[in-house]
Structure 1
Amino acid sequence: GTMCSTVNPFSTVIASNAAGINFMEGFGIRISALVVGTIICILYVIRYGNMVRKNPEKSLILESKAYIDEKYCSEAEVPALTGRFKLVLTQFFLTFVIMVYGVVKLGWWFGEMTGLFLVSAIIMGILLRMSEREMVNEFLAGAGDMIGVALICGVARSINVVLENGLVSDALLNTMSGWVNGMSPYAFAIMMYFIYIILGFFINSSSGLAVLSIPIMAPLADAVGLPREVVITAYMFGQGTMGFITPTGLVLVVLEMVHVNYDKYLKFIMPLMGILVAFSIAFLCIEVATI
């Protein structure tokens, strides 16, 4: 859903806007990649699960078995999925349906989406019979998690302003256009992918990376005769690939929540990342070939 995002306003849409194209351009190849990539990941996880079920000693987190059994496998502590929880889950899903419709059909952007999620959160709190204090505390905790993202977006935008007003962007584009003149479209697409893998390590925010880099990178596609959506696809694949392991993102937070060490996670995920690198290169070549 990150690597092959189709309508994510914080990656696909903001990157397409920065490139000066409609975010539906390149939609076909991304949704095809989403289906294939999801199948690859599901099969990879099932394969690992079957291996551990047959031989628990092969589990990478065997030392955490007692903790996992106590926290996640005690049926007595699992709350029932009541009608109230089902209603909240339905409302949560419908919020994203409304958001996608608003962005695609009504021209919504951050202001409207902020209002939508605020109203949705209030309704969710009411449905869960939370007190006003509980709703406010949960809202503040969620807002706190987004401070880092907001700061990255601000810094990225400030860098872009300096590059534009100092005519640095023009100089970079002129120089880099010379580099890609005569380059094979396939080589260009693959090069963009690896550039975004590197950039994704240093700038983990998808929206921050798009704002910083797309205005510079997208016009380079013009120099090799490719539509700009190829750069958007390379950006999605590159930052999505790095998102699996970059410690500056959500990986360490989630691993702490499930009591899994980072080194154990790397042993699990690195083979899958190798598969997804080959997958990304193949789909970029397919996109170039079908243009």
Structure 2
Amino acid sequence: MSEEKKKRFKMPSALVILFFLMLFVTILTYFVPAGEFGTLTLETGQEVADPNQFQFVDANPVGFIGFWAAFPKGMVEAATVIAFTLIISGALEVIKQTGVIDIAIYRLSQRFADNGIWVIPILMFVLGTIATFIGTEELSMVYIPIILPLMISLGFDNLTATAVVILSTHIVGVMSSMTNPFNVGVSHEIAGLPMFSGLWLRGVLFIVLFFICVIYTMRYARSIHTDVEKATQEAIRIGAIKEDEGKQEVNDKMTSKQIGVGLVSIALFAVILALVIIQGWGMIEMAGAFVLLGVVAGLIGGMGGDRIVDGFVNGAIGVMSGSILIGVATGISVIMQEAKILDTIVYYFGNFLQSLPLLLSALAIFIFIALFAFFVPSGSGKAVVTMPIISPLARMVGLNQQVSVLAYVLGDGVAKPFYPTSGTFMATLDVSKVKWQDWAKFYLPLMAILAIVSIIFIIFAQFINYGPF
């Protein structure tokens, strides 16, 4: 009887999990005291929390209507990320309809037919490099429709494709964050450090994380590798790829138009990456540039206006459910902000930090940020809330500012690819048809390894007085 019940039990969908998490946080607002920091304006004009101005305020728990209103409010709050995701997915679909991506996938699958495992380090290096320089792990959701068919064509499964994307962007890229403007950039600005200083140690971190994640992913990929036909049928069964994707004939010869599309797409993408680093472009500017990229690629590929529009729409539809997940997950932060309990949590941590020895202070920042990421997954958003408090407290206890930023970045990176409150992460799982519990089983051992590596780097950084200060 108990075995039958076990067989009947089915883990809830991502949206159901998020619903109950929102309910849990709503209940939490009745027990955590409300409080708020004052604000101060940095030289750049950015408003951040003032660590010298905190006060408890009247309790403001979220009521029945407030709970339900958090769903649309989360969508509004995450509008930039959602628009960014929909537009880039649309642009990639336009490029895909020219046939360039299918041919590239076919050629790669033929080239690595006997050694498909070596595609993993190549892809992870490329995606990790993009992420470490410009951040935007949000791109992971739009990489999946390109990388998933390739991995299936090599005899791997959807979890392998997901691991390649999430580990390369969220871990290799964002945890090293060599010039990530949305993570290190904001933290350095608040801490008063030279922008992107201390690059050498984060470069070493990139290499270490790359090899750890590649070895871990390749080990899993080898254990589940099967023949292409079985991999394709399983992917079709779970809805990871469409039935026609597994059967369509692909001509490996590119036309002159397709060559033009490929060259222009690569060139414009490189320009976008450069402008993110040099000009500090955000998601809005990047999304606008991808609209241009999609239109130009479509015109060069011989697509008319209607086909280009259809491509954008179909691409957006492909990630629509994931975009909804981003909005719902953001609703959790909305609830905490409206109840004014986020600042209270940071305030209590600040008091705790002052009571710790120097070395334990750095490790406490790492652990606190890893836990706090459950409530505020956004790297830059978390920096604005926490770094104005952490930075002066670190100075008071004698902790190097650069070490405090490193602890922040590592804590933020190691936790987000696990928490179901991280909208981008959950959306990526949704697009690739990987269940959260399956990912958790895969990621938890690696998460423990990454936590140990992070602690070693933090201790080393403190030991060498990692600077500038």
TM-score, normalization by structure 1:
0.73
Structure 1 residues not aligned, in runs of 5+: 57-62
Asked if the contact 2:181/2:280 (under 8 Å) is kept, the reply is no
Sequence identity, in percent? 25
- Cross-structure match for 2:203: 31
- Cross-structure match for 2:442: 268
Q: Does structure 1 residue 44 correspond to structure 2 residue 211?
A: no
- Cross-structure match for 1:59: none
Which structure has more helix as a fraction of its residues?
A: 1
Question: Taking structure 1 as reference, are residues 128 and 286 closer, same or farther at Cα in structure 2, changes over 3 Å only?
Answer: farther
- Cross-structure match for 1:5: 177
- Cross-structure match for 1:123: 296
- Cross-structure match for 1:216: 389
Distance across 1 between alignment mates of 2:248 and 2:396:
60
Distance across 2 between alignment mates of 1:11 and 1:79:
41
- Cross-structure match for 1:205: 378
Asked if the contact 2:190/2:387 (under 8 Å) is kept, the reply is yes
Pick aligned residue for 1:189 from 344, 362, 376:
362
- Cross-structure match for 2:161: none
Cα offset for 1:110? Answer: 6.4
Pick aligned residue for 1:277 from 451, 460, 465:
451
Question: Superposed, which structure 2 residues align to 1:82-93 within 5 Å?
Answer: 82=254, 88=261, 90-93=263-266
Pick aligned residue for 2:271 from 76, 89, 98:
98
Distance across 2 between alignment mates of 1:91 and 1:229:
40
Q: Please give the secondary structure, in 2, of the residue aligned with 1:226.
A: coil
Asked if the contact 1:255/1:261 (under 8 Å) is kept, the reply is yes
Question: Taking structure 1 as reference, are residues 104 and 258 closer, same or farther at Cα in structure 2, changes over 3 Å only?
Answer: closer
Q: Please give the secondary structure, in 1, of the residue aligned with 2:374.
A: helix
Question: Taking structure 1 as reference, are residues 251 and 104 closer, same or farther at Cα in structure 2, changes over 3 Å only?
Answer: closer
Distance across 1 between alignment mates of 2:183 and 2:191:
12
Distance across 2 between alignment mates of 1:2 and 1:20:
21
Q: Greater CA radius of gyration, 1 or 2?
A: 2
Pick aligned residue for 2:248 from 77, 83, 88:
77
Distance across 1 between alignment mates of 2:246 and 2:299:
28
Cα offset for 1:183? Answer: 3.8
The code of the aligned residue for 2:441 comes to K
Cα offset for 1:277? Answer: 1.0
Cα offset for 1:111? Answer: 6.8
Asked if the contact 1:196/1:235 (under 8 Å) is kept, the reply is yes
The code of the aligned residue for 2:400 comes to P
Q: Please give the secondary structure, in 2, of the residue aligned with 1:202.
A: coil
Asked if the contact 2:420/2:426 (under 8 Å) is kept, the reply is yes
Q: Does structure 1 residue 243 correspond to structure 2 residue 413?
A: no
- Name the stretch that deviates more: 189-198 or 234-243: 234-243
- Cross-structure match for 2:45: none
Distance across 2 between alignment mates of 1:134 and 1:229:
50
- Cross-structure match for 2:235: 68
Cα offset for 1:217? Answer: 2.0
Q: Please give the secondary structure, in 2, of the residue aligned with 1:213.
A: helix
Structure 2 residues not aligned, in runs of 5+: 1-172
Provide the aligned length of Structure 1 versus Structure 2.
273
Q: Please give the secondary structure, in 2, of the residue aligned with 1:250.
A: helix
Question: Taking structure 1 as reference, are residues 258 and 112 closer, same or farther at Cα in structure 2, changes over 3 Å only?
Answer: closer
Asked if the contact 1:218/1:228 (under 8 Å) is kept, the reply is yes
Distance across 2 between alignment mates of 1:187 and 1:95:
46
Cα offset for 1:146? Answer: 6.9
